[in-house]
Structure 1
Amino acid sequence: MQAIATRNRSIVYRTRGHGHGGITRLMSPSDLGESLKPFVFLDIFNMERPLLEAMRAGAGMSIHPHSGIATVTVLTEGRMKFDDPSSGTGMLSYGGVEWLRAGSGVWHGKELTPDDVPLVQGFQLWIALPPELENGQPESRYLEPQSIPSAGPARVILGEHAGVRSPTPAPAGINYLLVTLKAGESWTYQPPAGHAVGWLAVARGTLEASTSVPTGDMVVFEDAEDAITVQAGMGGDAVFVLASAIPHPHELHLGSYSVHTSAQALETGERRIEALREQMVAAGNRRTPTGNVPVFR
């Protein structure tokens, strides 16, 4: 029987975002997030030794709140330590994941501490939660690299790909993969049925799709369910994240650090955040001997 040819999806938009202090913002809820929801925010961070030393001393990212979303932090280079009474201690390196479902509200920002390495690189992604979860119980998990399964060159960070399911408890209808291709290697991703949203962002190397996609670029694919085929450039390995999803059917209602599906849900989340802030202040210094500050929820 002759195989049925599939059409590869074309790229319809690209961005290099805007950077500050080792972090480049590639997507926000008020721009690309509106068309790529449930994916509403994406940062790539490249933190070198001076910034890492400042972070180990307690400086760097400030503690801040979230509600209505889940955040997914995945490392592509370097090592970060976690230390949380509810999760134990351990180390995240390439392919390691912090999963934080903010739900009704959390405060975080210092729960990961850099190890003694020259560079820490990775992505932080926000996902808009559905109504049944956006004001639900918060949850955080730290998944060391050996806990994240692979399907070929892809680590399955969220969802299911090629019969391999991630242990991360993400909402249904979302796939998020970390992929490394050797120089010249080709790879095809066939999204599940209904996954019309698709994009990728390159951490290292160059990809060839319908056009060249260099380090630091994020590209958006046309709304479709066709396959996405890429090839690493001949200059070296390519490391990138690729995501697909069923479109999020709800409007985005935005707070300073929150994304919800309705004005009422946003108000509920922001009230909870303020109540948590008062409790957190009353709790005083929560820094662990490792140097980090666990998520407050």
Structure 2
Amino acid sequence: MKKQISFSTQGHRADIGEMVIYRILPNRYAEAVGPFVFLDHLAPIKHSTDKPKMKEGTSAHPHRGIATLTYVLSGEGEHFDSRGNHAKVYSGGVQWMKAGNGIIHDETMNPDSQTGNPEMHGFQFWINLPSNIKKEDPEYLSINANEVPQMQLGEDNGWLKVIVGRYEELASKIPDYSKQYLYHIQLKEGKQFSMSTEKELEYAIFLPAHDLTINDTKFVAGDFIEFDREEGTIELTNTHEGDVDIILFGGEKYAEPILAQGPFVMNTMSEISEAYNDFHSGKYDKVVYVK
């Protein structure tokens, strides 16, 4: 039986400088999908040749209680934080940061210096942490494109990358603290892909650039689609002229209270107050920019 679709919606604009940003999650229908409580889509843009490259990001800012995950489809992402972590990833790379009990970070997004491609395109997710993990020290991990687990789909239908979690024999390097997954699927023109789902797990799809038929219903570029909680099959059919990229993510429902305010996601209002107090008192330190 094909899985039922609960709703679909589109994001709203939340631009930063020249970057065209669409806030996909939370939205008017859902505050989370599994542990994922936030998704921003950096729509594809070409960097203007007359503008300088970004050197110090959009501005340093704090986080607590979540893990941030930046997936760079095309471009060059650079990370700095107040624990001294610094790294660059290029097209296809991933940056994961466990904010834990508090950190300040900044990220830049520039054209890929390895390929010379001027296009910048990517995503940032926030993954909610269990209350005990929110108390731990921050951690950071960068994963280059060639380290992201990938498999070819049968009958030359396309490929699937595991950004978070597991799929068949593939497993991401990114730590997970509950059953969760984030897949990037590329489906070739005229091809189809089906996957079975588990009861009670939450599933959502985002279509960054092209239309796609999902369980016999056509959706358009920019659509966010969420499914019901019953077992079933998700069937993807590409009737578009060319390859289609699909972001599929979700997992176990977050079982604890969710209280989000600004850059902090905690379980109680007192924890939110503590997060702000610690930030304003300087406990998160300052970002060190590496030249």
Per the shorter chain, which TM-score range? 0.7 to 0.9
Partner residue, 2:64: 67
> Which has a greater percent of helix?
1
1:119 aligns with 2:124: no
Deviation at 1:113, TM superposition (A): 4.5
Deviation at 1:99, TM superposition (A): 0.6
Partner residue, 1:91: 89
Deviation at 1:44, TM superposition (A): 0.7
Partner residue, 1:48: 45
Given the superposition, is the C-alpha separation of residues 53 and 123 from structure 1 closer, same or farther in structure 2, using an over 3 Å criterion? farther
Match of 1:100 among 94, 97, 101: 97
Give the residue type in structure 2 aligned to 1:246. Answer: E
Give me the whole-angstrom Cα distance separating, in 1, the residues matched to 2:48 and 2:24. Answer: 20
Given the superposition, is the C-alpha separation of residues 33 and 71 from structure 1 closer, same or farther in structure 2, using an over 3 Å criterion? farther
Give me the whole-angstrom Cα distance separating, in 2, the residues matched to 1:243 and 1:182. Answer: 20
1:205 aligns with 2:203: no
Deviation at 1:52, TM superposition (A): 8.8
Is the 1:179–1:239 Cα contact (8 Å) retained in structure 2? yes
Deviation at 1:59, TM superposition (A): 6.8
- Judge which range, 160-169 or 56-65, deviates more: 56-65
TM-score, length basis structure 1: 0.82
Given the superposition, is the C-alpha separation of residues 101 and 19 from structure 1 closer, same or farther in structure 2, using an over 3 Å criterion? same
Deviation at 1:224, TM superposition (A): 2.2
Is the 1:69–1:101 Cα contact (8 Å) retained in structure 2? yes
Give me the whole-angstrom Cα distance separating, in 2, the residues matched to 1:112 and 1:276. Answer: 27
Partner residue, 2:182: 176
Give me the whole-angstrom Cα distance separating, in 1, the residues matched to 2:64 and 2:273. Answer: 10
Deviation at 1:263, TM superposition (A): 2.6
Paired residue secondary structure (2:107): coil
Give the residue type in structure 2 aligned to 1:236. Answer: G
Is the 1:67–1:270 Cα contact (8 Å) retained in structure 2? no
Give the residue type in structure 1 aligned to 2:22. Answer: T
Is the 2:86–2:290 Cα contact (8 Å) retained in structure 1? no
Structure 1 unaligned runs (5+)? 1-6, 290-297
Partner residue, 1:145: 145
Given the superposition, is the C-alpha separation of residues 261 and 278 from structure 1 closer, same or farther in structure 2, using an over 3 Å criterion? closer
Is the 1:102–1:139 Cα contact (8 Å) retained in structure 2? yes
TM-score, length basis structure 2: 0.84
Deviation at 1:138, TM superposition (A): 0.8
Deviation at 1:150, TM superposition (A): 1.5
1:159-187, Cα deviation, whole Å (9 max, x unpaired): 11112111111222101111111112211
1:41-92, Cα deviation, whole Å (9 max, x unpaired): 1111025234797572447622211111111111223333457896664432
Q: What is the RMSD of the two structures over their aligned residues, measured on CA atoms? A: 2.7
- Judge which range, 115-124 or 17-26, deviates more: 115-124
Structure 2 unaligned runs (5+)? 153-158
Q: How does 1:1-297 map to 2 (within 5 A)?
A: 7-21=1-15, 22-28=20-26, 31-46=28-43, 48-50=45-47, 56-58=53-55, 61-81=58-78, 89-94=87-92, 96-110=93-107, 113-116=110-113, 117-152=117-152, 153-191=159-197, 193=198, 195-210=200-215, 211-276=217-282, 279-280=285-286, 286-289=288-291
Give me the whole-angstrom Cα distance separating, in 1, the residues matched to 2:136 and 2:49. Answer: 34
